[in-house]
Chains A and B, each alone.
Chain A
Amino acid sequence: QSVLTQPPSVSGAPGQRVSISCTGSSSNIGAGYDVHWYQQLPGTAPKLLIYANTNRPSGVPDRFSGSKSGTSASLAITGLQAEDEADYYCQSYDSSLSGSVFGGGTKLTVL
């Protein structure tokens, strides 16, 4: 049971928009701690996709965007491409655990 809750899977056709939710609590996202998102392509290490809720590292396409409200955050991907098929993880800090916590991950399938 992960501290942050994500849907196990989402899917969309090429060109469409999908959104992945990340739900936390008052000790992590709701306490104001930043949410970060990672993309993990099959057989590779995770890659930072969005940091501090809404920011994209250099090189990440603007098709990826993040938002945060209350105890939840979301990752949106527009103009879906086959190469976006991967696992996506949200991550934040939890004050009751005094450490970082991850969501359980969401598998994105591009139909």
Chain B
Amino acid sequence: QVQLQESGPGLVKPSETLSLTCTVSGGSIRSYYWSWIRQSPGKGLEYIGYVYYSGSTSYNPSLKSRVTLSVDASKNQFSLKLSSVTAADTAVYYCARERGIKAFDIWGHGTMVTVSS
């Protein structure tokens, strides 16, 4: 079955850019929406946005100015870049498959990213 795996640095310095990649295995990245969701320590879930396999995107307005999502269908991967990070961006970042009904039916295990100098 389809599985997702996040990868990227676990530590990012303030003001730098956080970069994560999600690899899709067991299925094709085509014909689905692929999303990023984060969870600050001890807090709830925050939607970051999605990228469609064709490359179209949608972002959370509160993060839009700093977020870029992209997809590489040839590698069955999609990526997140979050610029000008601060300590408030410290969180577990999850990648997930978003269905047309806007439900997230498959999730990665999550990767913890800490913003600290």
- Evaluate contact between A2 and B44: CB separation under 8 angstroms: yes
B104 near A91: Cβ-Cβ < 8 Å: yes
A111 at the interface (CB under 8 A from B): no
Given known A-B contacts A45-B107, A45-B108, A46-B94, A99 and B45 have beta carbons under 8 A apart: no
> Count the A residues whose beta carbon is within 8 Å of the partner chain — how many?
26
Alpha-carbon separation in the docked complex, A57 to B106 (Å): 11
Question: Which residue of the partner chain B has the closest CB to A51?
Answer: B103
**Bound-complex Cα distance A58 to B45 (A):** 24
Contact check, A99 vs B58: say whether CB atoms are below 8 A apart: yes
Interface string of A52-84 (1 = CB under 8 A from B): 100001000000000000000000000000000
Against A, the Cβ 8 Å flags (1 = close, 0 = not) of B77-111 are: 00000000000000000100011011111011110
Cβ–Cβ contact A104 & B103, under 8 A: no
Interface size band for B: 20 to 34
Taking a contact as CB atoms under 8 Å apart, the answer to whether B103 and A97 are in contact is no
Residue of A nearest to B104 (CB): A48
Residue from A2, A45, A91, A98 within 8 A of B103 (CB atoms): A91
Inter-chain contacts of A38 with B (CB < 8 A):
45, 104
Q: Which of B47, B49, B61, B110 is A102 in contact with, Cβ under 8 Å?
A: B47
Q: Does A17 contact B (CB under 8 A)?
A: no
Please judge, given known A-B contacts A33-B102, A48-B105, whether A99 and B44 are in contact too, CB under 8 Å: no
Which chain A residues border B35 with CB–CB below 8 Å? 100
Instruction: Report chain A residues within 8 Å CB of B16.
Output: none
- Chain B, residues 21-61, CB within 8 Å of chain A (1/0): the string is 00000000000000100000000111101000000001111
- Which of B49, B101, B107 meets A46, CB within 8 Å? B107
A85: Cβ under 8 A from any B Cβ: no
Cα-based distance from A34 to B94 in the complex (angstroms): 22
Residues of B within 8 A of A104 (CB): 44
Question: Can you list 10 residue pairs at the A/B interface with Cβ under 8 Å?
Answer: A34-B102, A45-B110, A46-B94, A91-B45, A91-B103, A97-B60, A98-B61, A99-B59, A100-B35, A100-B47
Chain A residues engaging chain B, CB cutoff 8 angstroms: 2, 33-34, 36, 38, 44-48, 51-52, 57, 89, 91-93, 97-105
